[in-house]
Amino acid sequence: MQGVLLAAASVVCLGRAGAGQSTTASFKQLAKASLSQIDGTLRAPGLKDEVEVLRDRWGVPHIYAKNMDDLFFAQGYVQAQDRLWQMEMWRRIGDGTLAEVMGPSAVERDRQARLLMYRGAFDDAEYGSYHPEGKRILEAFVRGVNAYIAQSANNLPVEFKLTGIKPQRWTSRTPLLRRTTFGAAAAELRLARQVAELGIDEWNRRNRPTPYRVLTVPNGLKLEAITPTVVAAAGGEPDRLAQRGGLPRPAMLPQYQSWPSSQTSENDGAFEDSPGSNNWVINGSKSASGKVLLAGDPHRQVTNPSLRYLVHLNAPGWSVTGATEPMLPGVLFGHNDHIGWALTIVGTDQGDVFVNEVNPANRNQIRWKGAWENLRVVRDTIRVKDAVPRIVELKFSRHGPVFYEDTVNHLNYAYRAVDNEPGSAGYLAGLMLDQVGNCRDFLTEVLRRFKAPTENMVCGDDGGNISWMAAALSPKRSGGWDGRLPVPGTGAYEWAGFRDDLPREYNPARGFINTANHDIHPPGFDPPLFFKTGDFPRYERIYQLLSAGNNFTVEDFERMQHDTYWAAAAPRQELLAGWTGATPQLETARALVAGWDRFYEKPSVAASVYDVWNRRLVANRVTATMPKATRDSLAQQSLREALDSLSTTYHTSWMLVNWGKINRSEFPHQFVQAYDIPTVERRGGAGTVAAFGATIRQITDFSNYDNSVQMNTPGQSGQPGSPYYDNLARSSGDAQYFPQTWTRPAVESVAAHRLKLVPGM
C-alpha cells in the first residue's frame, strides 16, 4: 500500500496549491495521483482466498477466483476501481439522493425517482428471480464495491476530490434499482391528445402503425381532460439538460474553480441514442468454419465513460466473458463455455396509464369497481445540499404511482409498469444465462427469468443450434385494449397476468436469425406486443446480406457491423435527374450526389451533401408526385440551401466537408474540460447497420473462442489519466476490433497488468 499512500500525499499537496496552479497539467497531475492500483498485491478484507486479476492491453479484466463468492467480490472491486464515480452517480439517480450533492435543482428528479422506485418485497421472489444464488451473488458483489470504497477513502477517484462528494456504502439492493422515468406513459398521453384533436376515424385514416390494428378509444376515457400539463407530468426525467453523458454535473469545490480548463466544455457531445441495435447468428451451414458465428452491437447513448464494461469471469462453475454495466454483477451478454448470446431492444409495451376518478371529498381515495378505495400515501424526506430538507408526499394506487392530480376534473393519473414486479431489475437475469448449456435451455430460462428490459435474445451454441425469443415480461390486458391509449382505472381494464406466448424460433431452415429493432411479430400474432411506425432498413439490409452469402468469417461480420449502405437514398437521387444546376457549383453538387454509391463513409463529400439536402427536401415538402417543373425547382433550391448550410456551419467550402466531419462521436467530461476526450469521426449513421449509438460490438466464433473479437468506447476506465480512459475511442471510430481472449494462454499473451487480491486487513 506504500504506493497508494505516497499518491495520496501528492494529492494533498496539489489540493493545497488551489488557485496557484497555472497550467492544465495540474488537473492531469491530480488525476494521475488518483488512479487505482492495478498491479501488485492488495489486501481485501472479505475475501476467502487469493484472486488474480489480469488486465489485458485494452484494459479488460480477466478475473480468476477459486470460489463463487470471491469471484463476484472481485468483480465488484474491479469495476469500482475503474468506474466508481459513474457508479456513485447512477446510484444517486436511482435511489433519489442527487439533491444531497446538487442542491434544490435536483429535488424534483429525486421525487420522481422515489415515486418510481421498486416497492415490492426483497425476498426470494426478487433475488431468486435472477439466479438461485441471486442474493448471495449480489451480497458478494457489493462487499467488493464497499471494500474498494473503504480502502480508497484517502485517495478517491479525481471527481470525488474535485467535488468533495463521498461515495456511500452499497447494499445488496443497490444493483436492483429500477428505471427513473415513466417509459411509454407520455407517448400514450400524447396519442390521446392527437386522437382528441383529429377524431378516432381521421386518426385511423392517417396513421398506419405496424402491425396495423384499428385504434379504439377505451370506454369512459375523457380525452378532453388530458391537457399538455398532464403530458408534461409524465414527460421523463426532469432537468435533462443538467446532465452530460447520462451523468449529473455537481459543482466543483471553490479551490479548483480557478484552475485553467476547469470550466465545463462548451461541447455537450452528440446525443447518440437513436435506435441502432443489431444482432444476428448463423449456423454452421453458412459459416466458413462449419460452426456457429454470432454478432451483436446493442445501442444506447455513446458517453464518457462508456455505458458498458467488458469483463471475463472464471471460477468453479463460472466461465463467461462479455459485457456488463458497471453497477451489475455477471455478464449481461457474451459467451460461456457452451453458448453465446446477444440482444437488441424489442419494444414491448410494458406499462400503462390508468386514469382514476378521485373522491371530491377525499383526494386520497379513488373509485374502483364502484367503491372508494384508499390510496397508499408515503411521506418522504429529501435531503438537500445548502437548503432545508424537503418533505414530499408520494401516492400509490393499485395501478402504480400517481404522477399527476387533476383537482378540476377530480382525476389522477397512475402508471403501472413491470418495473414493480419481482425480478424486473434490468439485465440481471443474465446471471442465469451465464451458466446455461444450450440454446434450447436458453429459451426456457429467458422465458422464466428475463423480465426487463425488452430484448430480442439471440443465441448460438457449441452443438450448432441457434435460437431467438422476444423476451420481456409482457402484460396480458383484459377488457379489449391494446395498451396504446390510457384507460379508466375503474376495474374494467386490468392486467390479467403475463403472457407466455412470446415469439421465438429454434433452428430455422434458413440457417440464420437476425433482429434490428424491427417488427418481430409473426403473421397472425395477436394481440401485438407493441406498435411501431416506419420502415426497418437495418433489419432488411442484414437479412439481405445473410441471405445472399455463405462461408462467413469473423472478418465478414466485422464488415457487416460497419456496413454503411443506405438504400432509401435511391428514390431521392431520382429527383436529381432531368435538370442541370443553374451554377457550376450547383451542377457539380447535383452530379456528385446523383452518382453517389449510397455508402456513408467518412471521406465521402457526397454523403454530406445528400444528408443535408435530404433534410431541406423534407423542410420544403418536396415529393415525387409534384408537377415535374415544381419538383425540379424545389430540388435545386433545396440543394442550394444545403450547400450554403454546409459552408456556413463548417466555415469552409462545402467541397471540403466530408461525412466524418458531420458524423462525430464527442466525449466531453462531465464537468472538467481538461478531461475531455478528442472528437472521433465515424462512418455510418442512423438507419444504416453502422448506426451510431453502439458502445459495444462483439463477434463470437464457436470454432475457436480465442478468435472472437470485441470493441468498447471510449475506454474501459472512467478515470482520467488512466491508459484505459480513452484508448479505445479512436480504434472504435476506425472500426478496429481487439481479441476477446478466452483460454488462459491467450489471456497471458496479452496481459499488461497483474493484480493479486488477497484476504486480510
Task: Convert the pLDDT of each residue in 466-511 to its tens digit.
Answer: 999 999 999 999 988 999 999 999 999 999 999 999 999 999 999 9
371-394: average pLDDT: 98
Give, to the nearest 10 degrees, the angle between helix 605-619 and helix 628-650: 120
Q: Which helix (H) or strand (E) holds 461?
A: strand 455-461
At 366 the three-state DSSP class reads strand
Tell whether the model's pLDDT for residue 1 goes beyond 50. no
Q: Distance between CA atoms of 722 and 34, rounded to whole angstroms?
A: 9
Q: Distance between CA atoms of 515 and 280, rounded to whole angstroms?
A: 6
Dihedral of alpha carbons 721, 723, 724, 730, sign: positive
**Residue 302 binned pLDDT confidence (cut-offs 50, 70, 90):** confident
- The per-residue pLDDT for range 117-170, each reduced to its tens digit, is 999 999 999 999 999 999 999 999 999 999 999 999 999 999 999 999 999 999
**pTM reported for the whole predicted model:** 0.94
Domain boundaries of the chain, sorted by first residue: 569-598+603-662
Q: C-alpha grid cell for residue 681?
A: 469521426
- The per-residue pLDDT for range 332-370, each reduced to its tens digit, is 999 999 999 999 999 999 999 999 999 999 999 999 999
15-44: average pLDDT: 77
Provide the 8-state DSSP code for 654.
G
What secondary structure, in 3-state letters, does 215-229 show?
CCCCCCCCHHHCCHH
Q: Is the peptide bond before 250 cis (omega within 30 degrees of 0)?
A: no
Q: Tell me the Cα Rg of the chain.
A: 27
At 89 the three-state DSSP class reads helix
Provide the 8-state DSSP code for 472.
S
- The per-residue pLDDT for range 510-537, each reduced to its tens digit, is 999 999 999 999 999 999 999 998 889 9
Check residue 234 and give left, alpha or beta (phi > 0: left; psi -120 to 50: alpha): alpha
Provide the 8-state DSSP code for 299.
B
Q: What is the largest CA-CA distance in the chain?
A: 83
Pick from 347, 352, 412: which is nearest to 186 by CA?
Answer: 352
**pLDDT score, position 670:** 87
- The per-residue pLDDT for range 266-299, each reduced to its tens digit, is 665 555 555 689 999 999 999 999 999 999 999 8
**Residue 15 binned pLDDT confidence (cut-offs 50, 70, 90):** very low
Mean pLDDT of the chain, nearest integer? 93
**pLDDT score, position 275:** 63
Residue with cell 385511423: 204
**pLDDT score, position 274:** 57
Tell whether the model's pLDDT for residue 385 goes beyond 90. yes
Buried residues in 695-720 as b, exposed as e (16+ CB within 10 A): bbbbbbbbbebebbbbbbbbbbbbbb
**pLDDT score, position 261:** 80
Tell whether the model's pLDDT for residue 644 goes beyond 70. yes
Torsion of CA 196, 199, 202, 208, to 10 degrees: 50
Contact between 460 and 439 (Cβ < 8 Å): yes
**pLDDT score, position 4:** 35
- The per-residue pLDDT for range 243-257, each reduced to its tens digit, is 445 688 899 999 998
Q: Distance between CA atoms of 494 and 490, rounded to whole angstroms?
A: 9
**pLDDT score, position 477:** 96
